Chain A
Amino acid sequence: MIGRLVAAALLGRRTRTTLAIAGVAVSAALLLDMVMLSTGMSVSFRSLLLSRGFQLRVAPKGTLPFDTEATIPDATATIVALHESLDVEAVSPVLGGTIHIPGARGATSAVALGIDPRYQGDYELISGRNPGEGEIVANDALLEATGRSVGDTLTVAGGYDPQLRRFAGARRMTISGRAHFIYLARGQRAAAMPIASLQALGGPGRRDRVSLMMVRARQGADVEAVRSWIAKRLPRVTAISTETALAQVEERLSYFRQLAFILGSVSLVVGVLLVGTLVTVSVNERIGEFAVLRAIGVAKRTITAQIMLEGAVLMLAGAAFGLALGLVTARYLNTILSSFPGLPQGIDFFLFQPRAAWTALGLLAAAGVLAGAWPAWRGASLPVARTLREEAA
């Protein structure tokens, strides 16, 4: 019977109910987006870091991977040293640099990654094969800019001397494959080649140097223990575990989380006020009805339940629409934010996770009950005799 009364109360005032649900939907959408924003980046970043199975990054001492142009010297010896640990399964050295590809309409510059094709963790092949000696894999942006495709040959230079107006270390290379580069920004032109090729293109200064080494620990190994071992064994490098990297990212993302928390809280408060106001107005209009119900023996708890249920239904109906709206707006906002220059295209700001939706839904349901609490108390606690007398007057 309570359900019937709640339905009657809400359906009897359709316009008001529709407006309330619409208002809650907007509030719920914002709340969901903020819950997604508060967790999305770190989850997305974690999944990006672990996507190729490397749990550790080894960078030049005191730096973060690719934070500076510093490189690790004696790369071959360092790799050998890393393999001294039985817990190290694979080491993927990476050298970062810039290449220039001369063309009829000027040169095209691109990010170049020198990798070990056996263990590389920087790209995913879309077509073709990994590069061998004298070969590169390129992404779509570079292929488009140079007008080349897999199988074509092009001139690749490691540097440009503006005084002599001449490219340095130029050599002919073949495009062996088309690839998607995981850590690079959308639209950024990129190519990968064997690390020795890029070191050679860079001249003597780059010989046996790498920018970064990605380390994969054996399954079941204690990653932190491996990290500590590297720190002790190789004092000239900094070993960073995924957890450490994430902690550093988390620190940098605290601004986003605070923003998300504040906006999420505001949206929740707006939802509570909206539903609270509408339920209060509704109760005020039906004060005589509640007095009659109390007079004929309907318990306070029944009336309280009825009014609180009205609030909860408004909130949950709004939340259902709001979650759908939130997903749409999150997708749109994600597109805008992900196109920030320099961000890896695999990073999502708004990552949908069922937990986020349940969290938002739970908060909204609790808020709905809370919103109905005061009007429910008022509706159930009115002085019956006086209210009936005033209603009759």
Chain B
Amino acid sequence: MSEPLLRLENVERRYHMEGEDVRAVRGVSLAIDAGDYVAIVGPSGCGKSTLLNLLGAIDRPDAGRVLLDGRDVGSLSDREATELRLRRIGFVFQRFHLLAALNARENVELPMAEAGVAKRDRAERARELLAYVGLAGRERHRPPQLSGGEQQRVAIARALANRPALILADEPTGELDARTGAEVAALFQRLNDDGATLVVVTHDEELAAAAKRVIHMRDGVVVRDERSAAPSAAAGGR
């Protein structure tokens, strides 16, 4: 059996908030294979986003291990973790978080510029990615000139820029209306069909239904981990 892309072993994460210790993630263990599409669901404050941050090497566990490609993310230096995020992980945020001063193409180019990709190559790839997410011809538009759904698609293109092994999305449809959310969900489905590994934190039942696997969390622990029988059908209905 091949090694999973991502493995969590007894992961703990605690915060000290307002004089109290909060155990945001408690002893979570799970494995995610390459090509998987995982939705993490649960009520607010159950530790979904904290878990996502741990998976994305943005945060470090207080106990346990997070292994990406067999490497213990928690033991990486800040520089190594940054490099890992740049080259192996793509992030999609609820509020898109595009740089308003840059146009769509420049926003997509940003991670590639940081990775040292030549200007011409990154411009070409940015155009391809924008076309992939359905924004061909909108390259020069700046975020304020784009709708919420379009901005999220630019953010997805940005996440794909350095051909990451893993895409993490935190409530990617949280700021979108139902129709636009469905478009983004369809885009995720297409990404997964094209081979991308996706982990999505969401409250959106339709988006979760599109995933191959749904992990339910409550009070920092995984309470249910289920595989969908026919995820594509659910996505196709959107």
A residues adjacent to B (C-beta < 8 A): 1, 4-5, 8-9, 11-12, 288-289, 292-300, 302, 384-385, 388-389, 391-392
Contact = CB atoms under 8 A, between A and B. Distances in A.
B36 interface: no
A12 B101 contact: yes
B228 interface: no
A8 B83 CA distance: 25
Interface in B82-97: 82-87, 89-91, 93-95, 97
A215 to B, nearest CB: 68
Interface string B109-152: 11101110000000000000000000000000000000000000
A4 B102 CA distance: 8
B78 interface: yes
A276 B83 CA distance: 30
Contacts of A388: 53, 58, 93
A295 B101 contact: no
Q: How large is the interface on B (under 10, 10 to 19, 20 to 34, 35 or more residues)?
A: 35 or more
Contacts of A296: 85-86, 90-91, 110-111, 158-159
Given A292-B93, A392-B94, A297 B56 contact: no
B59 interface: yes
A293 B86 CA distance: 10
B49 interface: yes
B79 interface: yes
A156 to B, nearest CB: 78
Nearest to A11: B101
Given A12-B101, A300-B78, A389-B49, A295 B113 contact: no
B12 interface: no
The majority secondary structure among interface residues of chain B is helix
A1 B113 contact: yes
Nearest to A298: B114
Nearest to A389: B49
Given A296-B91, A385-B59, A8 B86 contact: no
Contact of A5 (B56, B85, B101, B111): B101
A292 B114 CA distance: 14
B141 to A, nearest CB: 15
Interface in B159-212: 159, 162
B97 A292 contact: yes
Given A294-B82, A295-B85, A388-B58, A1 B101 contact: no
A289 B86 CA distance: 16
Given A1-B113, A4-B106, A302-B114, A297 B99 contact: no
B116 to A, nearest CB: 11
9 contacts: A4-B106, A8-B102, A289-B97, A296-B91, A297-B83, A297-B87, A298-B111, A298-B114, A385-B58
Given A12-B101, A296-B85, A384 B58 contact: yes
Contact of B82 (A292, A299, A385, A391): A299
